[in-house]
């Protein structure tokens, strides 16, 4: 994991302000999940429910189509799999890591 802060207390920015925007993107939140989603593009009907419901914006979408999962940020909550409507097999299935 990248270390954002370095140095002694005298070298810190005032008030612990982070002098950048959008740093959440650099922070790995995908390391502590027990399960991970596995995406099958063949079964997927591109309804984008998984993308709508993902609380971490971890469903990768290109040109309006789901292409995969961002495992750097995915916490393995399983909501995408829960919401996936395809039958008899879901396009996203949770697997133990």
Backbone phi, then psi, for 36, in 5-degree steps?
Answer: -135, 150
10 binds another protein (CB under 8 A): yes
Cβ–Cβ < 8 Å for 75, 29: yes
12 binds another protein (CB under 8 A): yes
Name the 3-class secondary structure at 53.
Answer: helix
Closest to another protein by CB, 8 vs 62, is 8
1 binds another protein (CB under 8 A): no
Angle at 72 between CA 45 and CA 67, to 5 degrees: 20
Smallest gap, in angstroms, from Cβ of residue 25 to another protein? Answer: 12
Closest to another protein by CB, 56 vs 83, is 56
Among 1, 16, 63, 87, contact with another protein (rule: CB under 8 A): 16
- Chain residues binding another protein by CB under 8 A are 5, 8-10, 12, 14-23
């Amino acid at each position: 994991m990248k270390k954002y802060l370095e140095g002694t207390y005298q070298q810190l920015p005032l008030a612990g302000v982070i002098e950048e925007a959008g740093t959440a993107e650099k922070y790995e939140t995908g390391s502590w999940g027990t399960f991970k989603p596995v995406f099958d593009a063949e079964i997927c009907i591109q309804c984008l429910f998984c993308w709508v419901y993902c609380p971490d914006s971890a469903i990768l979408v290109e040109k309006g189509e789901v292409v995969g999962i961002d495992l750097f940020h995915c916490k393995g909550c399983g909501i995408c799999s829960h919401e996936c409507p395809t039958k008899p097999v879901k396009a996203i299935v949770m697997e133990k890591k």
